[in-house]
Amino acid sequence: MIPVAKEVGSLRTIAAGGIVSPTGNPELSPEKEKQFRRELVLRALQTLQKEV
């Protein structure tokens, strides 16, 4: 959905876990999924610190 976000003017976007679970992945084990979410959120926080 990144192209849609950009089209409507979003300035800081990152690709996440997919449409139905942006900050998760039901295929992963609970521990791995938590790790995935943590990395994703850290990436989002880094993006907030970026100049656009």
Partner 1 sequence: MNTPIRVVHYLNQFFAQVGGEDKGDVGPTFKAGVIGAGRALQQALGDQAEVVATIYCGDNFFAEQQQQAIDELLRHVAEYKADMLIAGPAFESGRYGVACGAICHAAQQKLGIATVTGMDEDNVGAGLYRKHIYIVNSGATIARMVPTLQRMAALGLKLVRREPIGKPADEGYLSRGIKRNELVAKPPAERGVDMLLAKLAGKEFHSEIAPPKFAGGKPAAPLRDLKSAVIALVTDGGLVVEGNPDKIEPGRPTRFTTIPIHNVNTLDADKFDAVHSGYDTASANQDPNRLVPLDTMRELAREGVIGAVHEFIHSTGGAHAAVENATQIGRQIADQLKAAGVTGVILTST
Report residue 15 as tokens. 């690709």
Least Å distance, CB 32 to partner 1, is 13
Q: What is the amino acid identity at position 11?
A: L
- Report the C-alpha gap between 46 and 26 in whole angstroms: 25
Judged by CB, which is closer to partner 1: 12, or 32?
Answer: 12
3-state class of 35 per DSSP?
helix
Contact pick of 3, 29, 31, 52 for partner 1 (by CB under 8 A): 52
Provide the binding-site residues for partner 1, judged by CB under 8 A. Answer: 1, 5, 7-9, 11-12, 16-17, 19-26, 33-34, 37-38, 40-42, 44-45, 48-52
